[in-house]
Structures are given as C-alpha cells and as structure tokens.
Chains A and B, each alone.
Chain A
C-alpha cells in the first residue's frame, strides 16, 4: 500500500513511482482515508468544502461529492476516472480551467491515486478517528510480551513498550537506557503529584526499600495527585474566580474546583466524571456533590457591563458550553460549524444547533447574581432543610414534595427582573434590577404562577412606603397582590400573599410612593418566584413555613449550578443564520452528529443523554481524547500531536495502534479509571528512559515522537511555584476552600467599575499550592501568566510552552522566589560541615540528587564572590535578607547562601522535568 512508503521516498526517488503505480494498477486497493482524503484536504477542500462550494461541488460529504454540480453532471463518476470531470480538470492545460485554480497542479502521483480510486468505485470511507475503538486483535499477545524476548531485551515491560519498540525497529533506532533512579523518581513525582518527592520517599526508593511500582502506587494514593491533575482539568473547564468581561468581579465557584480534586483522588471513573459534570442535576435525586459538579458549565463568563443584553450573553454562554463540550470530550472544534458546515470535518451547520439544543434549556440567564446557585447549609440548617423535606414528603408526594427542598437549595424556578418589559416611569437599573419610580409600572408577561398563594421577592430598598400592586392583564385588571416594601438591610427574600390564578397570565406591576423625587428609584427587585404553601396544616406546618423563609435568608457559601428548565419555561432552539444569534432559521431539537456514533433509544433527549452518548464505548473520540491528553501531560506531546484536534485535519497519530490499545484498556480493563491508565504509562520502559539526547537522535527524531528517549520539558506555571515552595519547606498542605491571594506586585489590579482589591493573604495561605491562587480572568496572577498558564476565559486544551527573559526575571527577582531561596538557604545553613557541604545540601534538597563536583565548583565560586560582597557591604546584606525574622540571622554567610539558593532554583534542570 502507498501509505507504507514514507512520503519522502515516494517524492524524491522518481524512478520508484513507476513501480508504485504499477503495484497500484495491479493489486493495491486505494484507501480513502489514508490515500485520498489527505489529497482532497490539501488541495481541494478550501474551495470545495464546508465554507465555499465553488461550482456547486464539495468533497466534504459523500453525497455532496457524488451529486450533480452546477454543470448538471457529478464531478465523480464511480468506476470511470477518465470520464470524471474531476480528473479531467486536474489534467487540463488551460490555466483558467485547470484545478486547483491559480495554484500549483497536483503531482502525477496524486492524480494517479485519485484516478485509481475512482476506477475502483470511488468508495467513501470514514476516518480512523470517527471509527469506534476496537478490541485490539493482538491484545493478549501484547500483554504476554511483557516478559520480553531476547531481541527486545529488557525493554518491553508492558504493551506500550511493544508498540514503541515496533516503530523504533522500523527506524533502526534503539531505546535509551533507563534514567538514573534519582532523576526518574523526580520525574515520576512531578508527573503524578506536581511536587518533588519527599525526602523520606526518595530515600526509601533510592535505598531499594520500595520498588518503582510501589513508588508509583504510593504517589497515586497521595492527595497531592488530585491537585496536580485537577490543574490540567481546570484549564479545560475554564475555571476561574471571576466572571470575566468588563467588570470581571469575583464569583464563588471554588466548590467546583474542590469537587474536581476530590474526584481525581477518588479515581472516579471518567464516564461518571463526565455524566456528573454535564448533567449531575438530571440524575435521580442528585446529591449536593452531583449538583456541584454541574458548575463545570457555569464556568462560562458572565457579563455585568452596563447596557448589555443578558440574552445575548446567555446565548454566548450556551454556545461556549457546546464548543467546550466538544473540545474537551471530542477533540473537535465544533465552533466553526456555528456559521457554516465544518470546513474539513464531517459536521453540518444544523448539527451545531442540534447540539446547542442540549444546553439551551438551563435556568441561568447571565444575571448579575449568577442564579441558580446551590446553597451549602451548615449542619444545623441542613437539619432544618431535612425536616422540611420530611414534612413535605409526609404531606404531599412526588415532585410536589421535592419542590420545597429544591427551592431551599437553589430557588428555582423564578422570574428575573430582566423578564419585565414596557417600563413606564421605571428602568432596569444598570440593565440588571427592576427599579420603578413613583407611579411607575411594567409588565411581566406570560408568567405561570402555578396557582401559587405566595409571591417571593428578592429585593432591597433604601426607602419606606413603596406600595406595589400587581394586577392581572393591565392597569384595570384584577388585583392579585398588593403590599408595601419598606427599607431593608441589604438584600432580602420576602413572601407576600398572591391570589391564586390559573394558567399563564400577564402581570402588571405598579409602584406608588409619593415621597420619592421624580425619577427616583423606589426599590431594586432582583427576582420573583411563585411558591406554593408548604403542604399540611397545624402549628407544625406554620413553624416549618417560618423556618423555610428563614433558611432562604440565611447567608451560606454557594456555587453556581446547572438546573434544567421546567416544561413551562422551555426554550426553542433555532439555527442561527450565519452564526448571528438574532437571525433565527429553522427550529431544531437536540441531536448528536451522525458521524460520531448512534443514539440509543433508552437515553433521555437531554444533557444526561448527551453525557451517556459521549461516554458510550461506541463513541470513537472520547476515550482516544483522554488517552491522548494524559499521554501528552506525561510526554509533552500527544500520540496525535494536535491534542486539541483529532479528525481529518489533525496530524496522523505517531502510534495509532497504541492509542487504540490504551483507549480500549481504559474503557474495558480500567473501567474508565484514570489512575490505571496513568500507571500503565509510567510503568512502561518507554516512560522510564533517560531523556539524554545526541545529535544523531535529534536528526532522526527532533521532536521525540518515536520515543527513543524519555520526556524532557519545562514544568508548568503551577509547578514552578509549588516546587520552589516545597523545597524551601514553606509549602502549606492545606487543601480546599476559597481561593487565596499570595503576594503580587502593587498596582496589577486596575479593573474598571470594580471595587475589589487584591488583599494579600496571611499565614499559611501565602504558601498554598498554585491551584488555590485566586484567578482573575482579566488580570491573572502575573508570574503564572509569564510561565504560560491559562487565563481561563475559554477552554484551553494545549498550553504552549515558551522560554522568555520575563520568566528569568520572575524566578530571579520576584519576592516569592527570594523568600523560597532564603528558606532553602536557611535550611542548608543549619547543616554541619564546610560551605561546600552546605551548598551540596541545598542542591540536593532542590534536585533530589547530589551535584557533580563541577556544578559544586561553580556554586562555590558564586558563594565566595557573594560572601565577599556582603562582607564588604553589611548594609546591602541587611537589605538583602529582608525575610530574616531576627537580626541575629542576618549574616553575610546566609546572604551569600541565599544568592546561591536563588541560582539553584534558576537552573534549567530545576525548571525542567528531565
């Protein structure tokens, strides 16, 4: 087959092409995916694809490619290349007619491939990435091979090595020896926990007290594992502590971050992990944790800028959820399809909106308060919630009983102020809250009150005597409710009697307060809800009703969550013409792209069904995507190197069988548990190789995509800081909770219309792991950004690793790194021995191995120069040791030691996972 010939041979050794063609002509069947599709993608599809269909021709879908073009005749006539217009046009001499138009012609070989393919019947095929992962034929053989044969030596420790070895042998390469134990242990620890190995574990491993496999298990069991892998997931989830856009004020969503850490530490199977995040609210009797998980898609941005239309940004958030879901689980940029059919991949314009329909029916509406938010009641209050639930269940059944607990947890369904319209003497204050003036009015149209006897208002006001009258239909309609809003102490949720009405009604709201000045706002109403009475009767019912109202007004910590719209609030989803949210096309229902696996009858037509579809073993992309990205975390590149994209435009996999083997094992052997997958990888000899290279290896494989050496790349932004804190002994072990604000330079935060400040944390909160650092989207922690961290505005699959002078300035001059250098120096200084011995200790603490004598010579040289400097200038020494707690600590030795510690923490090998 052609694909067996490396491209370079085929193109450079012309005389061979005759032989190849001869082979093709006589026996070889042209493979659509491997041979034809790449040619179409390279030369044809930019004019005959999803965006442009010049001449009425597109090569994106089979039916399009084979149907009549504008000329009336199909371009491809299966079985007859000679008569096919497509082939004729490739041979054409007239530059006006020859294809590709105004570009270099196809090579003879390419034309021949296309001709053969048409002659053989022009069979369409599907791309490997869109075919389900099959059980590997030789799976058992690969596992048995773990004992290795002579030829492969000791290299093959598990199936991975066998696949890697096959490719290396083809290229006449041999794998590298195992990395030295200290280097390997550091690599493993950074990869599994994001932190260097503890002294004790390191000793145990280096002394042979525990095996490599034990070390892997021990590290996978540490809670720091969850923190490290959560950092990866939070980039995908675009988790941040602020809402984004102009005002970018903070949001409390850290409970989601904690949920992710715990899920990793519990080794929650990835299918469950998926279901709970995408649709935890739709599971039967969802737990608080399952509701919290849905905050995954509440990490979308929320626009508070005055004058913005909430619906526009609600739609933007829904589209972001659609796009993110496909980027995260399917390695597919579906975003292109919102304006037109995908230019390269087999997704149609309408299919985007069918996907969007899954996400278009949640309660959140880009409101300032980010409702719905799940309330986390303290223990005492939680008991009260439980007693109300119990009471409701005793006195009512089913959904009617469940309503009361749900309303206490997240206050839905409700109508937001922005649902009001037709303001007269009134306004939507800052386009957010309902503010009527004296004699002012507005409508809430088409509201369903469900016959409720109460209206609950979330509001605040600085004035007494605001009399609100709510009438049916209009100014002359029946009075449904009438009450006075008096001065409040901040926001309150208050209930008022409401005359039960059936069906949908237009409500007319009229405010009176003659004491107000003209155009003065009476009150600011955030939302309204129509709430039934707690079922049952008697004093207990009355007491519990009061408790219900008290609980609603209890301040608790919260997290924004997804809650599906009740039927009466369901939104229709339409195709947006050319991606414009105001131009509605046909109405669509929820559906998944047909090219990515079938939909099973038993799945509900909602987000839950979508989550089942994504984690079904028939879905071709989910398991491959996870495997590829975990591999990339460990090796610095994916088996498909474009880790954000797996499809017709992605790079071909370096080891497709290995990718599929791992994906199959993840689903079937490891039951979707990632620790098993990670262990498979790190236990392999492939992973354990030394990362030393040489000019020959670089020439043959500059990117190390065949893995004849171990991984070597700069550690992540989070790890740069965590590692420095860890080796200096400053790192706090505290987990979870609100994000913290370690020191950052003054004046970095300067956001418009936002009164929030960076309040530097005290005590151990200064030294927490980076994952707990407050992340403001429009102004992230500066030193993290310098090291390529994400600002988390949108999903980020792949952090580009850069190498810049600004990074050097951070680790050389940022007080955070001077403080760590000081504490590392202080530790080393307490050891007995010569200066040289102490420097060796500082190095060993940092790198987990002993320095070479040459390295020590360099460090010692620096130490003595620094020592002289500080001895000569005690004032400079005093200034430099700014972190010393007592003046007795301020010695030239310690200052010089600090300079060296700072140098050690700037070494390439310190900043690199080797």
Chain B
C-alpha cells in the first residue's frame, strides 16, 4: 500500500492538466532542451530560460511515458472491436444440442420476464450455422467460418461466458469501452494513455482505426477522454485522406519552409517566454516541434505500400483501401513504433437476418472471412517479431447474439438472424501476461447463459489494467469532487487466463 501510494504520488500527480502543471516549477537545469528530446531547433543554451525553473517531463509533454506502479511486461494494447456484436454461436461457442433443437420453440421459462431488442413473443431456436472442430493442442473449438484462426487458437485465451447489461449497441459499446453505458467517462485507451503515456512522441499515444464504412454506433465517445484531459483521447487515423487530420502540409508549402516557419514561431515564443516566464509557452514550443516530427512520422507509419509482398499476402492487405486487414497491419506497425494503445473498430456485425447482408449464414459469414486472415496474421506477425509478449491483443463485440432465430416485431424472417443478447458471449485475449490456450467459462447447452466462469465487462477492464501494471481499484482520477475509476465500484481479476 505504502509503496503504491508513494509511486502514485510520484507519477500521477503529474497529470497533464495545465493548471496543475505549474506546481512543478522549481529550478532550471533539466530545462527545456532536455525535454524537447532531440530538439530540432534549440538546445537549452540557445534559448535563455530564466534561472530557477525546472519542469517535469509531463509539464511540457503530457504524453511522456510513466512507469506503472507494478512491473508489467505489456507495453501496448491492440483492441479489436467487432461493432454490431458478432455471433459467438457461429465462431467459438459450439452448441451441438442447439442443432438438435433447431426450429423448435424457445422454452417459455427462458423468456419469462426477459426483454429483447427486436424479438417478440415466443421465437424458435436457431441451430449453429457453422460446423466446428477442435484445434491445436488446446483443443479449442473453432468454426469453419474461421479457417485461418485455427492456426493461432493455441495462442489465445478464450472467455466463453462474458456478460453485459446493455442490449442496445450505443450504450453497450460505451459500457465496453468506458465502463459506463452513459456518456462522459474516459475510454479504456484514454485511461491507459493517461496512466502510461506513450513511448513514441512522434505519434499519437492512442490511435483509432475504423473499417466497415462506419464509425461505431456510440460515435467518437468510445474513444473519448471523458473528464481526463483531451490530450488522452484517441486520435483517429485514416487510410484514406489525411492519415491524421491536418497532418499534411498545404499544397505548395515546401517542407523546409514549414520547418523554417515552426522555427520562427518557436524563436519568437522563446522570447515571449523570457518576458513572461510562463511554462505554458515552453510546452507550446515543445508541441510545435512534436507536430513537425509527427508530420514526418505519421504518414510514414500509415503507408503500407512498402511492406514486403509476403506481409501483404499474410494479412490480405490492399494499400489505399479502408479495410480491417489494412488496419491490422497498421496496428502491428504502430505498436512496433511504440504507440501505447491501438483501437480497431470493424463495423457491420449486427446479424439480425433482416436481409442477406445481415444473415448469419451469408453476410455474417462474409464478415468472418474478412477478419479471419488479418486477425490471425496479426497474431503470427507480432509473434515472429517478438512483439506478442509485450503486446496485449483483445478481441470481442459489445454483446452476444441469441440462440433464437430473430422474429422482428413478431414477423417471420426469410433470412437467418439472431437478436442482441447480453447473457453470454465470447471474447478472447492474447499476448503479454495471457495464458496461452486457456479457455475460461462455460455456457449452458444451448448457449443462452453462462453457467460457469462468468465474467463481466468490469472484470475484463480490471484484468487489462492489471496486465498493464495498475490496480484498477487504485487507478483513479478526481472529478466533480470524487475519485472516479474505470471499473466504478466493481471488477474482479480473471485469474484463470493469466499466465
């Protein structure tokens, strides 16, 4: 406890709020040259900061790295979110009994007092549409919708009985990413970036990549910083247009001239600082230098043209497109460069069976094919580069899908669909600190509810923070007069999947 509190004081009271930054001014020395790492334009001597000012790294750069209170192997997180909620029953949760009951009416007892988003009355059960086999040494069940994933199943740990309490996309996605179904809380990525900073100052610390043509249902709040300073919010990088908004120089502006412009701005700002002694000015000088470096590094890392052919084949990437495959490759490149948190959203998993594209056996199968190769490639690629041990990969949706065939508003549907389901769904984790080949949790014989090893969204958050070196109960931020945490007042570590 004491050790924790001490570390806590040291590290996190240096939060990035401008107001508290001013606490840390004491004497010069380490000064501004040391902080503006590899300053392009100045050294400490060239400027002339008044004596008596000393600034911590976080004063000048709120993304500077911080060590967590407990040692941790995990350096980066890649979170793959299938927005719309994929069907666990066609991917990982094999239910032969459900097959036998196919087309029979769902037992009343399961429906009593229950509300579904679209199912009304007494729906029929829908048997699994995919065939399953046990793979690898772990004997994990994987469906034939995911042939490539079978090769990496031994590297992951499954959570078979995850539950949530939100059955609409927006609130459920918010819950999954901010720990609250209502708006206003910081996202997981923001907490992590706030807690750890980032190792690469030329790239955003928290990058968001979307595919499927849409942003998630809950909008940009799922990567928002809530009450944390906005510097910790996710930065959306795009494979079309500017990779980061406004990263490209205006047309006709030579690169050297941009450098000269920033240099001029910073020289004048330096004089301003000598006059006003306001450390915010030094922070601004630093940010302009970072902006310049980002302009070089972001387009570089976001360009996948020059990746070798075998990598393109491995991931199934097509440069210039907005695709999940491209985003998986980018995720690997970003963590390789020291980005702390990479969040992927792939939209289009809401398999209600209202038309072909949302039919379980058609549209949803195609979605599986779309992600199968790249997500498997991501794990293999991280592994072959020795990155898997210090990267945590998380895969899942915002809830699961019903073992029942959807009968939207009481209508019979011509395509096979499943409604939203909060009782149980599957997620998997892989990489640093995760027990390879583990499987935790069991569902009943038709996959309606978890019967063993049930875990909540808060439990998953607690476990992710733990893997990053934080005790989720003590990782708090004061807001509106009280300490807030990602896991609110809940969350238990999921020990069975920890290495």
Interface residues of A, Cβ cutoff 8 Å to B: 51, 102-104, 244-246, 248, 301, 303, 305-309, 316, 327, 333, 335-336, 343-345, 423, 427-429, 519, 636-637, 641-642, 644-645, 647, 649-650, 691-699, 702-704, 712-714, 745-748, 750-752, 777-779, 782-783, 785-786, 788, 791, 793-794, 800-810, 812-815, 818, 852, 854-855, 858-859, 861-862, 865-866, 869, 873, 875-882, 895, 899, 902-903, 906-909, 911-912, 914
- Say yes or no for B22: interface residue by CB 8 A criterion: yes
Query: How far apart sit A805 and B290, CA to CA, in the bound complex (Å)?
Result: 6
B108 within 8 Å of A (CB atoms): no
Question: For window 462-496 of chain B, which residues contact chain A by CB distance below 8 Å?
Answer: 479-482, 489
**Beyond A786-B230, A907-B269, 14 extra complex contacts between A and B, CB < 8 Å:** A245-B171, A519-B411, A645-B480, A695-B51, A698-B25, A801-B17, A801-B18, A802-B18, A803-B280, A813-B247, A858-B268, A862-B264, A865-B260, A869-B256
Residues facing A in B240-275 (CB within 8 A) are 240-242, 244-254, 256-258, 260-262, 264-265, 267-269, 271-272, 275
Given the complex of chains A and B, what is the CA–CA distance between A879 and B248 in angstroms?
Answer: 14
Interface string of B101-145 (1 = CB under 8 A from A): 000000000000001111010000000000000000000000000
A907-B272 in contact given A747-B238, A859-B264 (Cβ < 8 Å): yes
Closest to A895 in B: B252
Q: Is B359 an interface residue (CB 8 A)?
A: no
* Inter-chain contacts of B18 with A (CB < 8 A): 713-714, 800-803
5 interchain residue pairs of minimum CB distance? A778-B219, A307-B117, A695-B52, A880-B252, A879-B252
Bound-state CA distance A793–B182 (Å) is 10
Interface centre among B2, B22, B24 (most CB of A within 10 A): B22
In Å, the complex CA distance between A815 and B250 comes to 8
- Residue pair B254, A873 in contact (C-beta under 8 Å): yes
Cα–Cα, bound, A877→B253 (Å)? 8
Chain A residues near B264: list those with CB within 8 A: 858-859, 861-862, 903
Task: For B170, give its contact among A303, A344, A803, A907 (CB under 8 Å).
Answer: A303
Given contacts A695-B52, A752-B214, A907-B272, A807 and B26 within 8 Å (CB-CB): no
Which B residues are within 8 Å of any A CB, using their own CB? 1-2, 16-20, 22-27, 50-53, 62, 115-118, 120, 167-171, 182-184, 204, 210, 213-221, 224, 227-231, 235, 238, 240-242, 244-254, 256-258, 260-262, 264-265, 267-269, 271-272, 275-281, 283-285, 287-288, 290-291, 294-295, 347, 408-412, 420, 479-482, 489
Q: Of all chain B residues, which has the CB nearest A244?
A: B183
Check A809 against B257 for contact (C-beta < 8 Å).
no
A911 to B280, CA, bound (A): 11
Partner of B240 from A747, A786, A805 at Cβ < 8 Å: A747
Which of B182, B213, B257, B275: most chain A CB closer than 10 A? B257
Which residues of chain A come closer than 8 Å to B117, judged between CB atoms?
306-308
Q: Are B481 and A752 in contact (CB under 8 A)?
A: no
Complex CA distance for A810 and B295, rounded to whole angstroms = 12
Q: How far is the CA of A246 from the CA of B398 in the complex (A)?
A: 14
Residues of B close to A327: CB separation below 8 A: 480
Q: Which residue of B lies closest to A424 (CB)?
A: B410
**Pick from A427, A785, A800: contact of B409, CB under 8 Å:** A427
In the complex, which residues of chain B have a beta carbon less than 8 angstroms from the beta carbon of A903? 261, 264-265
Nearest B residue to A811, CB-CB:
B246
A237 CB, min distance to chain B CBs, angstroms? 15
CA distance A694 to B253 in the complex (A): 38
Partner of A813, one of B118, B217, B230, B246: B246
Distance, CA A301 to CA B218, complexed state (A):
13
A911–B169 alpha-carbon span in the complex (Å): 40
Task: Say whether, besides A309-B115, A793-B183, A802-B18, A746 and B241 are in contact (CB < 8 Å).
Answer: yes
Asked whether, in the complex, the Cβ of A804 is within 8 Å of the Cβ of B287, the reply is yes
Which chain A residues lie closer than 8 Å to B1 at the CB level?
102-103
CB of B270, distance to nearest CB on chain A (Å)? 10
A-B contacts, 18 listed (Cβ < 8 Å): A308-B117, A327-B480, A519-B412, A698-B277, A747-B238, A786-B245, A802-B16, A802-B229, A802-B231, A803-B284, A808-B290, A809-B245, A809-B291, A855-B271, A866-B260, A876-B254, A906-B288, A907-B265
Residues of B within 8 A of A912 (CB): 280
Contact assessment for A812 and B482 in the assembled complex, using a CB-CB cutoff below 8 Å: no
A842 to chain B, nearest CB (A): 13
B contact residues around A308 at 8 Å (CB): 117, 168
Could you tell me if A805 and B26 are in contact, using CB atoms closer than 8 angstroms?
no
Inter-chain contacts of A809 with B (CB < 8 A):
244-247, 291, 294-295
Evaluate contact between A782 and B245: CB separation under 8 angstroms: yes
Instruction: Give the Cβ gap from A399 to chain B, nearest Cβ, in Å.
Output: 38
How many Å lie between the Cα of A428 and that of B410 in the bound state? Answer: 10
Q: Of the candidates B51, B115, B221, B242, which one forms a contact with A745 in the assembled complex, judged by CB atoms under 8 Å apart? A: B242
Contact indicator A343/B215 (Cβ below 8 Å)? no
Known: A696-B52, A813-B250. A777 touches B167 (CB 8 A): no
Among B218, B287, B412, contact of A805 (Cβ-Cβ < 8 Å): B287
User: Which B-chain residue is minimally distant from A809 (CB atoms)?
Assistant: B246
Query: How far, in angstroms, from A875 to B252 measured CA to CA in the complex?
Result: 7
User: Are B235 and A902 closer than 8 Å at their CB atoms?
Assistant: no
Contacts of B256 in A (CB 8 A): 869
CB distance from B274 to the nearest CB of A (A): 10
CB distance from B165 to the nearest CB of A (A): 10
Q: Is the CB of B221 within 8 A of A869?
A: no
Q: A752: which B residues are within 8 A, CB to CB? A: 214-217, 347
Known: A702-B23, A869-B254. A778 touches B287 (CB 8 A): no
The docked-state distance in angstroms from the alpha carbon of A815 to that of B246 is 9
From B52, B229, B247, B276, A914 is in contact (CB under 8 Å) with B276
Residues of chain A with a CB closer than 8 A to B261's CB: 812, 862, 899, 902-903, 906
Contact (Cβ within 8 A) B251 A879: yes
Residues of B within 8 A of A875 (CB): 252
Q: How far is the CA of A645 from the CA of B479 in the complex (A)?
A: 9
Task: Say how far A887's CB is from chain B's closest CB, in angstroms.
Answer: 14
User: Which residues of A lie under 8 Å from residue B218 when comparing CB positions?
Assistant: 245-246, 778
